A and B are shown apart, each in its own frame.
Chain A
Amino acid sequence: MTCEKIREQLTAYLDGELEGDRGTPVRGHLRTCAACRQVATDEAALRDGLRALPPLDPPPSLWAGVQAQLAAAEVRESQRPAWRRALSRWAPLAPRFGMVLGACAAATVLLAWRAHRHEETAAPSLAQQTPATQHTPVAPPPPAPAPPPAPVVAPAGDVSADLAAEPARISGDSAQAATALLATARAEIAAWPADRKQAFEARLSELTAAADAAAEGRPKQRAYRDLIRYLQNAAIREEVALR
């Protein structure tokens, strides 16, 4: 086989993807061709170098930024009239129910979009499906209640902002400890029989959901405490601790 043909197969060959005898001609060629051998060596070294690239830890500001954006989005959401908020809750379901809802919902969205051109579109996925000529008469939207006054947000770095962000920061620390401990626990329970592992995963889901759902502050800290203790017990003891 020509060098060109061999090189086309090198990636698959080096990654162990040439099954059965298909690797033999490549192997044979590499034994005799220094140039192709060099290419193979280079590519293997490159692949190993890429594999060895270290995992990257994001800065702590990333999580804070995510939460800030989510919070800001929630504030914007709460300022929209109630009927539009309800519509955007429908939007994710629309693809599931297909075009059954599409017609009237789409028309409503079209009217809404035209009326509030400068605001964010409530349901982008529906708006994209909207045919331009749908003009089904639709009752005008109910009068919108006055939006709640926008909260005065303290500038970042100010003590008030810091205090406001603290509960989330604390639960973030707890969540991080729980995540690390989860990895340890999973490593320790790797040799458990399947049914016990299943029981563990089930209980773990319950405790994780409880921690996610708990209110910020003490309730969340208690929930994380229970989760961390459960993970400790699972990691240290063979019996699944039901606490």
Chain B
Amino acid sequence: MADLQYIRNFSIIAHIDHGKSTLADRLLERTGTISKREMREQFLDDMDLEREMGITIKANRATVKHVHNGREHMLNLIDTPGHVDFHYEVSRAMAACEGVLLLVDATQGVQAQTVANAYLAVEANLDIILVINKIDLPSAHPDEVALEVEQILGLAAEDAVYTSAKTGEGLEKLLDAICEKIPPPRGRLDARLRALIYDAKPDPHRGVISHIRVVDGAVKRGDKIRMMAAGREHIVTEVGKYTPKPTTLNTLGAGEVGYLVAGIKTIADVNIGDTITIAQNPAEDQLPGYEPPSQMVFCDFYPGPGTETADLREAMERLWLNDSSFTYDPATSDALGIGFRCGFLGLLHMKIIQERLERESDVNLVQTAPTVTYEIALNDETVVHIQSPSEMPDPSRITEIREPFCTANVIIPAEYIGALMSLALDRRGVHKKTEYLSPTRVMITYEFPLGEIIYDFYDKLKSCTRGYGTVDYEVSEFRGGQLVKMDVLVNGIAVDALSVIVHRDKAARRGRNLITRLKKEIARHMFEIPLQAAIGAKVIARETIKAYRKNVTAKCYGGDVSRKRKLLEKQKEGKKRMKNVGNVEIPQEAFMSILDPGD
């Protein structure tokens, strides 16, 4: 069993694209953990989607060896995602560490997720090594970037380690810094076993593989273990480490990070954050666990053409067993039929789940526009939470509608302050403070209604700051507001999947934009189609799709009747891809048109 003194557990945290996965790859290669021949880009990102999108979604892990001061050290690296949607993965990974590398791009400087992740590390009481990366690039200005970090986070600029993950420059120094500055794990090998499950993944052959950090004691093959919160007991069939390939060991002891296999069939049987102990000789107290991830964004998935509700259910169940970070519950829509209301950590998470469903299970989805949770106070003094405007109780029962707010840190070059101010105003942002990172860059803190920023705020921020702006947010609380439910009537019939909850002051503009978009998405029919946006009985916007005046093929193709019939059949197939509401065919795109705030 390894001597704790020579073990270091650490994560790398960074803003997206600051070179985290490349640095991890280089460390593995440098320490000879994997050969050049085995090397492939983003070794730790083992999901296809991760490699394709160039991002890390799930936290990954590996153990590398480094000789420092003549002694071999075992460095346990836990790679983390950089995107705001996956904060909870970052916090989980951190719970298994004593220190982090805070990686900052020497050409781009401090960005919103740099700050957010650094705060997480400070909260978790971890030691932070500041790493300024990409110093090989001509536009790198590492000294200024180090000063920015000092300014905003209070980490001494002079302690920063300069690296180039691309050329390998500074890596040796970095490995030494890890050994020197990150403390060894404190754990009592002779105490009763306590190991934290910080992640888990299913394996088709061995059952669930739990990723654990052993805090006290040791665990070995053959041990009968107990999950302290769940109360379930299992026999350990394998323990080991990732080097980064899974390598079986006899024992995992206090301070070590590794994996454990114990004949657990489905991932639903493993609670992330649970504490493992030995069944016959259990520890007294559990380790502090995790808050379960909370779903921020909701949308409905309905079966699309060629897919049955049963197929979709099966696909969702299968994916959920692999990744339980999203939720799904049955949902019914007058317009779209029977499907599922799903909850996600954020919009990227939603897109990833949708993509994985379609890819891994070959189902076709019709998706409604994403929305946030609203809290509705009723006049019988109860409170309900709704995840879809269609669940809104009758207005006569409502005393207040509350929406989730978030605190957002936006980092931009100072010259774009004006542009950001007007964007924030448009999104009902409340300015809290402005801090200068350097004479030319600022971090501005706002409070926003979450619903105003989940969809396209990031894109709008990018376009009004020439690509330089970044944002990170954390959801804070529900607040009451002048919110109303706006319904959309197509040919006089309210279409539930098109309803939206909006601020009263913005309702008229949103209504007009929505109706204009819808008019473009819905084709002419044989009759005139009125489109209306309404709050209660009051119509606030109206448009009409004119009936088509001429829709007739001139020729019947001489005697080639079959050909003409096949054209008709094709038209018929086209119709199947649309949803029919009150004789009006509504294409899938129309259901997303409510997202466009139209500015």
Co-assembled chains A and B: no
Give me the interface of A with B, judged by CB distance under 8 Å: none
Give me the interface of B with A, judged by CB distance under 8 Å: none
